[in-house]
Structure 1
Amino acid sequence: MAIVLALLLPLVSMPRLVPTTIRAAEPAVLDVTTSYEVRRSQRRRLEQRPREASLPPIPAGKITERLDRYLRGRSGPVAAMVKELQTGRVYRYHPRERLITASTAKVQILMALLLDTPWKQLPAAVRHDADLMIRYSDNHAADRLWLSIGGAAGFTRAGKKLGLRHTQGVPGECVDLYCWAITRTSVEDQIRLMQALVSGKSPLRAEDREKVLDLMGRVVDGQDWGISAATCKGERAALKNGWLRRVSDKRWAMISVGLIRGDGRDYAVAVLTEGSPEVGQGIETVEGVAERIMRDFRRCSE
């Protein structure tokens, strides 16, 4: 079955962030110091609250209506999610959908590799493949790294370590090794993956997280579409996009996942689509969805 699926889903290349010691004999000083520290800690918390409390709740119903209108007449399923990582504010659109990753699976492949071996300890040839895989979306480099992580089993094992719940590697001997491209995933899992790139609780080392984000922030021209269209001035995007055409109906799966970062905020964003008749329309759909969600998370200054 994996062979048949892979034959139906070939990949198509597309051009184009000491208190002073207190002696036991001086309990009064200890009490004063403790009281002062408590008051200072409480003041800090109060000072930090207004910014968070002033943020409006996400109008989920309003966004959903907006997306429904925009997507009316466009073919294929769409799933999307945005999470503001500092506050936990979140919006989900059709989160139960399970759609293919296409080349966005390459981020998980690299993270699986780094869970076992730090970037600095990887051979030069492997680091070169990682650069090609993320920045240029090179499929042959992805094939080599897929084998190096142990294929589907290693991919799935890494996903579990990273907190993914709905993303399983496709086992079997796949044509051209493109099993990773037909991996089905959820927007929830893609957001969890992005969180693992910025969270101090991530199983990935801090320097390795930064390396992945660095590569995602420097994708080549022509592959920087997608969630980047939803950035405001002063924000930056670290992303990985995917595109894949089904031989059976010539329809495209277009995907964009990543982080929008700026002004001390990190937004994890995932937009998964299938069924676009052409690449251009698929890109337009992905970007339109991302823009229509992000406008209710913050306002862009002119």
Structure 2
Amino acid sequence: MVASRGQAIPRAVIALALLAALAPASAPRLPAPAPAPVARQAPVLLEIREEAAGARLEQVSAEETLTAVPAKQIGKRLDAYLAGRSVQVTAMVKDLATGRVYRYHPGERLITASTAKVQILMALLLKTPWKKLPQAVRHDAETMIRYSDNHAADRLWLRIGGAPGFTKAGRKFGFKHTQGVPGNCVDLYCWGITRTSVDDQIRLMQALVSPKSPLKAKDRDRVLDLMGQVVDGQNWGISAAACEGDRVALKNGWLKHVSNKLWATISVGLLRRDGHDYAIAVLTKGSPQVGYGIATVEGVAKRIMQGFRKCPE
């Protein structure tokens, strides 16, 4: 259960809704079981948007031909893949060099799980540049992103001012649908049940590479460096859509609800190659096992990226 915007959550309600396991550092990557047949999902909402004609495409080579994203083709591909998977999915990819966009169920608001840790770090750096942080705080930031350490996230959550500080930072990054969860949360895991949209998650990723970002360049680079060093076993997700030679910067989240025993599985990040960045966000909920959710996230990411580019041979 997640509070509606501006509503405090009683402690008892939070305790029932919280996870049995939230991003443990040693969580193994599990194989996905064969999915049970389910009814076909309702038709999806697709949207494609390009930047205004004549916009400067600074990072596109002269030889590259800009083509529209084949939204219908991607939609059919996703329909066929998700027809047999009992999972709720929302996803988005944005080509940051050209402005091309594909959205899948953009109206959904799902939880962040441990992907919220990127926003926590960016909120921290808005207050204090990396070079001025105490060594212990730097260590918390590193373990929070690379190992998904929850206790480090708790300490940094308090350091940024909790939910108000989290929400304030999101507004600076242009968020429209993401707010910190108010109230007293059991073990301070408020950040893990934050609801968000794929649009806001893409805005956050874009803020890591844009010179117009409220974060300074050196601090952006530090966040990207940590997201590029996520430990083995936690580096699944959008990385499945990478081409050979891509640089991957990501943060994943996996959370099991006590109430229904189902998993939320999320992957957000960037695929980077020769100055060409793709921001990707895939959020899911309802997986019977974490491995099932991982397979779903990777399958969605790969099928969308096939509509944006072909990997070099």
Let me know the Cα RMSD of the aligned residues: 1.5
Q: Alpha-carbon deviation of 1:282?
A: 0.4
Q: Which runs of 5+ in 1 are unaligned?
A: 17-43
SS across alignment from 2:219: helix
Which of 98, 107, 115 in structure 2 is aligned with 1:104? Answer: 115
Counterpart residue number, 2:27:
15
Q: Tell me how many residue pairs correspond in the alignment.
A: 272
Change (3 A) 1:280 1:272: same
Contact persistence 1:6–1:178 (CA under 8 A)? no
Q: Percent same amino acid at aligned positions?
A: 72
> What are the equivalent positions in structure 2 for 1:1-302 lying under 5 Å apart?
1-3=9-11, 4-10=13-19, 11-12=21-22, 13=24, 15-16=27-28, 50-52=62-64, 54-302=65-313
1:174-220, CA deviations, whole angstroms, 9 ceiling, x for partnerless residues?
00101000000000000000000000000001000000000000000
Matched letter for residue 196 of structure 1: A
Q: Alpha-carbon deviation of 1:61?
A: 1.1
Contact persistence 2:89–2:285 (CA under 8 A)? yes
Taking structure 1 as the reference length, what is the TM-score of the superposition? 0.87
Give distance in 1, aligned partners of 2:226 and 2:283: 21
Contact persistence 1:6–1:182 (CA under 8 A)? no
Matched letter for residue 15 of structure 1: A
1:52-94, CA deviations, whole angstroms, 9 ceiling, x for partnerless residues?
5x12210111101111110112113100000000100110000
Taking structure 2 as the reference length, what is the TM-score of the superposition? 0.84
SS across alignment from 2:307: coil
Q: Alpha-carbon deviation of 1:51?
A: 3.5
Change (3 A) 1:6 1:109: farther
Q: Alpha-carbon deviation of 1:301?
A: 2.4
Matched letter for residue 227 of structure 1: I
SS across alignment from 1:221: coil
Matched letter for residue 293 of structure 2: G
Structure 1 ranges of 4+ moved more than 4 A: none
The structure with more radius of gyration = 1
Give distance in 2, aligned partners of 1:150 and 1:6: 22
More helix by share: 1
SS across alignment from 1:253: strand
Contact persistence 2:14–2:186 (CA under 8 A)? no
